[in-house]
Amino acid sequence: MDSILALMQDPAAWIALVTLVVMEVVLGIDNLIFISILTNKLPPEHRERARRIGIGLALVMRLALLGTVAWIVQLTTPVFTLFDHPFSWKDMILIAGGLFLVWKATKEIHHNVDPVDHKEDMVGGAVTTSFASAIGQILVLDLVFSIDSIITAVGMTPHLPIMVVAVLAAVTVMLLAATPLANFIEKNPTIVMLALAFLLMIGTTLIAEGMGLHVPKGYIYAAMAFSALVEVLNMISRNARQRNKSGGH
């Protein structure tokens, strides 16, 4: 208790908390996009429940991993060397998660580009994923993003209470934003393709990180923000043209 009170009175601890909360929220965007796209393929009556379960699992997993911080830190210890590059368990988890994301995003992009070729399994895009399958896939990505998130948090602060508060804050934001984001993606088909492209880029980045090629996350999120801005301008332009056409008639 005394240590927590001391942390609350330490300005450096508050700065670390704010920084960590912002970082956790930003890192959570990747997870949220994946959850939104995947749950939108479920029947409407199951989507909200799947999102809550998926995000709830992310919270449980991150808090459980925080309880094993000493073990998590050891995941960065090299296990074997290949082509003069040491690979740790963290690297292998990032590569596996990245490959899964690239495979999933590529598959969904193919379905969107050529839906006629997948009529049997694409009936409205909802039948392709069962509830259990959606939760299973969300769980896999939750694990990858959680480990990456916790290792990053450990590198920023040694104080466990700060990490716990940051994780709770980030997951709360994810919970509040999940349904509005999923609804927005569903109502705007071009956003789906953009979101899938984001997942493809994130998957490629995870593979690169696992291979030892550090890609500054600021560049990735700046590119995502710029692409999203361009798409918003396109949407405004399309809506303006539609209003002009309706007014003309």
Q: What's residue 9's pLDDT? A: 60
- pLDDT category, 125, cuts 50, 70, 90? very low
pLDDT of residue 247: 65
pLDDT on residue 148 = 74
Terminal CA-CA length for the chain: 71
Helix, strand, or coil (residue 35) = helix
- Measured CA to CA, the distance from residue 23 to residue 13 in angstroms comes to 15
Give the pLDDT band (50/70/90) at residue 169.
Answer: confident
Q: Has residue 236 got a pLDDT over 80?
A: yes
**Helix, strand, or coil here: 109?**
helix
pLDDT for 5 equals 60
| Number of other CB atoms surrounding residue 79 within 10 Å | 12
Q: Phi and psi of 79, rounded to 5°?
A: -105, -40
**DSSP string for 220-244:** HHHHHHHHHHHHHHHHHHHHHHHHH
Q: What is the pLDDT of residue 207?
A: 87
pLDDT band at 158 (very low <50, low <70, confident <90, very high): low
pLDDT band at 59 (very low <50, low <70, confident <90, very high): confident
Q: Which two three-digit tokens encode residue 126?
A: 């909802």
Token pair in block for residue 180: 């509005």
pLDDT in tens, 225-235: 888 888 888 88
182-217 confidence digits (pLDDT tens): 888 777 777 778 888 888 888 888 888 888 888 777
Mean pLDDT score across all residues of the chain:
77
Q: What tokens does 186 get?
A: 């569903």
Q: For the chain, what percent of residues have pLDDT higher than 70?
A: 84
